[in-house]
Structure 1
């Protein structure tokens, strides 16, 4: 299994090292790869994996701390930890959504995530893979309104992870970030969450059963439902 942690904490491009470091760290936090209250990898490890200097990394961490996403603690058990309570997403924007970019994000998500579900179901999953899927599914189902979208995103990343394709996991993480930015602009609807959880269960059940076509169809139904909500509120 190629973890989302590995996919997100990959080397950044030299031209915008600070900005991309902030982006990668925020992706890991917003997509639930590093959960609330959890510790980020050490500065040395992060700097090596991202391919940036310790100075650049510290500047990025300081910026996230100032924005309320992380806290730094000193001492034997110190380090940088994701805040227990994350900043609220920006108030739902009233500016018009760029129609082409909007449809591009939804199309890319559909292609990547239906393909990931199909590919995951086609693999012979290890016990660890299966536990990873059922564990992230249970966490999404148990999540409250305040944490639901991060747990939801984490489950979708887990499906990509068990395909064992690092490139696919990276692509799904990037696509999911774009969709999450759109989802932050619309309200959470409790009936939709119940329906979403049922669809998640159907997707995971099909993957665990080794049924690629059923997994693809279940994922297609799920992402099309999300797209319908987004179009209703934003298009």
Structure 2
């Protein structure tokens, strides 16, 4: 699917191709587009999507191998596989980061709210293909079946899937960047059973509204979900 991962794997700027390639791959891993054990796109495809040479891509992957984030395997079922696991959150350090952010935290939350509600509306307006509809349903199913350890990454993957379905690379890129601003903080929210149940209801409502073309319902469900997440973030890290 040429649109999968489009929120992250967009052409890099010239001048710092190596550094930006490392950044893009790490973003894709940390945001859950590719989780532990997943195989990255084939070298030829990834280089084309990033608009870089295959040698630059190989250098970036070698560096990520040395950092323990990926590994390369040979053979028929070979490729580059993710070995990175999210570190446990340090709440003390994250609270200090929130204090350092000051008003930037509210700015980031507002920016995320505007972008992601807009993305849900746009996805609901589009005539999605059967493949795209199946992709969104697959992201929802894997999130609902997620273990506590994998939940945050799969939650991010679900939200990015909606961004990718908008058909707007600029919007999808903006959402990926906004999530990276908040990613460590979101991962630090304790796993509360009641909140997970509530979030699951909201995720289902978001997906259902998008799949049935209910633009207002998609916006409302997304806004409710993001406001609940922001409230928890403020409560635990404020």
| TM-score, normalising length: structure 1 | 0.89
**2:124 matched to 1:121?**
yes
Helix, strand or coil: the match of 1:9?
A: coil
**2:83 matched to 1:52?**
no
Aligned residue in 1 for 2:193 = 190
**Kept after mapping to 2: 8 A contact 1:119/1:212:** yes
Helix, strand or coil: the match of 2:6?
A: helix
| TM-score, normalising length: structure 2 | 0.88
Shift of 1:187: 2.4
- Give the alignment of 1:150-161 within 5 angstroms: 150-161=153-164
Aligned residue in 2 for 1:95 = 96
**Kept after mapping to 2: 8 A contact 1:4/1:170:** no
Aligned residue in 2 for 1:86 = 85
Equivalent residue for 1:178, pick from 177, 181, 189: 181
Aligned residue in 2 for 1:26 = 26
Q: Structure 2: any 5+ residue segments left out of the alignment?
A: none
Deviations 1:109-166 (A, max 9, x none): 1001111111112223222222122111111100011110111111111212222222
Aligned residue in 1 for 2:226 = 223
Helix, strand or coil: the match of 2:5?
A: helix
Shift of 1:16: 2.7
- Give the alignment of 1:138-153 within 5 angstroms: 138-153=141-156
Over 3 Å counting, the alpha-carbon distance change for 1:125 and 1:111 in structure 2 is same
Q: Structure 1: any 5+ residue segments left out of the alignment?
A: none
Aligned residue in 1 for 2:171 = 168
Shift of 1:21: 1.1
**Kept after mapping to 1: 8 A contact 2:30/2:86:** no
CA distance in 2, matches of 1:96, 1:46: 33
**Kept after mapping to 2: 8 A contact 1:2/1:162:** no
Shift of 1:39: 1.6
Give the ranges of 4+ consecutive aligned residues of structure 1 lying more than 6 Å apart after TM superposition.
Answer: none
Aligned residue in 2 for 1:202 = 205
Helix, strand or coil: the match of 1:6?
A: coil
Instruction: State which drifts further: 96-105 or 132-141.
Output: 96-105
Instruction: State which drifts further: 50-59 or 188-197.
Output: 50-59
Shift of 1:89: 4.8
Shift of 1:99: 1.6
Over 3 Å counting, the alpha-carbon distance change for 1:233 and 1:2 in structure 2 is farther
CA distance in 2, matches of 1:184, 1:14: 32
Shift of 1:90: 5.2
CA distance in 2, matches of 1:96, 1:161: 30
Aligned residue in 1 for 2:63 = 63
The two structures, once aligned, show a CA RMSD in angstroms of: 2.1
